[in-house]
A and B are shown apart, each in its own frame.
Chain A
Amino acid sequence: MLVALFVVAGIVSPIFYRPQNIFNVLQQASALGVVSVGQTLVILSGGIDLSIASIMATSCVFAAALMAGKNSMVIPITLFCLAIGALAGFLNGIITTRRNAPPFIVTLGTALIFQGIRFVYTKGAPFGSIPSWLRFLGRGGIGFVPASVIIFLFLALVMEAILQRSAYGRKIYAVGDNKVAALYSGINVPNIILSVYALSGIFAAFGGLVLAGYLGFGDNWAGKGYELDAIAAVVVGGTSLAGGEGGMGGTVVGVLLITILSNIVLLAGLPYQFQQIVKGLVVAAAVIFYSFVKVSGERR
């Protein structure tokens, strides 16, 4: 399917194959990729995280304001931003597990809180700038390969290894597949779920930093709509929304698919609002497609 899309992209616009455009597409894919890695973990555990876009923007705004263009501040502030992400994820996880609340509404609430926090902090007008080290993370590249893509693929690979090879990874699948069964097998279900949301928060904050490096300034709405894009990427990649099925490999393909699709919309000369419509359709179509594949598989 990815190949088919590559061909279609070329037909819609020959510009697509230019090295510069491929480079751009990969760059744009990586911020989405990083947050989709976190979203995959959450969805595998049977949850959903709608707060990632807000965490991304918050991390982006704080990075610009606190780094203020100084390379010496990159490492401490990066840690600070990741801590904010972890905090948001921890809040999501604690309310979801301790109070058994539906994650989509909890994470929507968290999104609103962090939206408020960054606007209160910047009074609506983000300030500061992104130092050159972080700029390299978002814009730089080694030859034809953007630095951010290497990081995205590395993170996906590490998380895939953890998912498939470690006890922790297997527990995430077990929780997503059947909570009660997991509980009876002696798995600490609330802690697994909590850790998954915390990780998603950290990945979202890191994705915000990648985006900050790409943009070069703090943007109050950086990453807007990425919660839906990430869900789209994960679902298109074959991870089941019910949890317990799927993996990072599918998500990587899904991320590239969604990004190329957005690119095609622009190259075809359609207004960018079309992207939103296309993504909505893709999410619905993917969920319907996989639910039918699953049902016919069960009947056989």
Chain B
Amino acid sequence: MVTLIQRILRGNPTLFFVYVILFVFFVFAASTAPQFRTVYNISNLLRQAVAFGIVGIGQTIVILSGGIDLSVGSLISLAACLTSGIMIGNPTLVFPIVFLVLGIGVLVGLTNGTLVAYLRVPPFIATLAMSAILQGSVLLYTKKPVGGVTRGFMFFANGQLGAIPFAFVFWVILLSFFLFLLRRTGLGLHVYAIGGNQEIARLSGIRVSVAKVAVYVISGFMAALTGLFLASRLGIGDPLMGQGFELESITAVLIGGTSLAGGKGGIEGTIAGVLIIALINNILNLLGVSGFWQWIIKGIVVIVVVAAYKVKE
């Protein structure tokens, strides 16, 4: 047991540290708030984690490549509003809408990727501009929550497989797929190489631009999927639903030890980061901390986290 811990510590101390923090948070929550220990609350917590978790996977891959995606929040709002706004409780429309929404996510990612990879726009500017365009579009479409989803579609986020939320199982499957993609495929290797040093990656014969576009497409797809998830969870899409998701997904990725400079880290850490963020949200809500104070706390968390991992020049 001791040697195992030593091996993990030597192999990836950051990752080990992050999971220790997660454990400490969990124990703290379980011992201070009795409501925390209920089955209802835990499955609620897992569902909340899945929302951040899906978009967090995409954000991790973008950040690993040395980029950033600030458009995920608006894209989530757009996806959720289109889902419920077009479906309006009609079961025959479920599959076409899922394809449409995911297609829009891919298209947005494709545009982001083209701007960054081929037109040399800095990633945070390209995706910030995209975010404004998407938020404007969704507010043109609707200013208040719109439409509704079918009961069957709500199973996606609220269904149970025995004692375990279906959404959690879905997330685990997604995680295994992307872990495999990052660690065992050419694209994954290229993402790490580009994030490590773009010039060396290019000289090694990696098609940097193609890989970058792919990365933003994945992120757009995952954000659209999160929009579907949130529409399913609440039964209705809200034009401001995704607000804050860009910052919280980035925070989760950074807590997980992935470097903003790119090339270092991975989804293993993001899982812990997502759970930590979901735990913090959950504890703050259980303790009755007002939403305004939560903003301050989250802002401080963001700053502490970026300050904690010092980037080398």
On A, residues with C-beta under 8 Å from B are 48, 91, 95, 98-102, 104-106, 108-117, 119-120, 123-124, 180, 225, 228, 231, 235, 241-242, 271, 273-277, 279-281, 283-284, 287-288, 291
Contact = CB atoms under 8 A, between A and B. Distances in A.
Q: Kindly list the 7 A-B residue pairs having the minimum CB-CB distance in the complex, ordered from nearest.
A: A276-B136, A116-B295, A116-B296, A109-B302, A112-B299, A113-B299, A280-B132
A210 to B, nearest CB: 23
B19 interface: no
A106 B140 contact: no
A231 B125 contact: yes
Contacts of A95: 303, 306-307
Contact of B311 (A91, A100, A111, A275): A100
Given A99-B310, A275-B136, A281 B290 contact: no
A271 B139 CA distance: 10
Contacts of B129: 228, 279-281, 283-284
Given A109-B299, A116-B298, A241-B125, 4 more contacts: A99-B310, A112-B247, A284-B129, A284-B130
Interface in B261-292: 290-292
A275 B310 CA distance: 38
Nearest to B136: A276
B175 to A, nearest CB: 24
A46 B292 CA distance: 32
B69 to A, nearest CB: 12
Interface residues of B, number: 45
B260 A113 contact: no
A108 B119 contact: no
A287 B116 CA distance: 11
Contacts of A273: 136-137, 139-140
A102 B254 CA distance: 12
A100 B307 CA distance: 8
Interface in B109-150: 115, 119-122, 124-126, 128-133, 135-137, 139-140
A105 B125 CA distance: 12
B300 interface: yes
B130 A280 contact: yes
A100 B313 contact: yes
Contacts of A284: 115, 121, 125-126, 129-130
Contacts of A105: 68, 250, 254, 260, 302, 306
A228 B132 contact: yes
B40 interface: no
B307 A119 contact: no
A237 to B, nearest CB: 15
A225 B292 CA distance: 20
B293 interface: yes
Contacts of A100: 310-313
B236 to A, nearest CB: 20
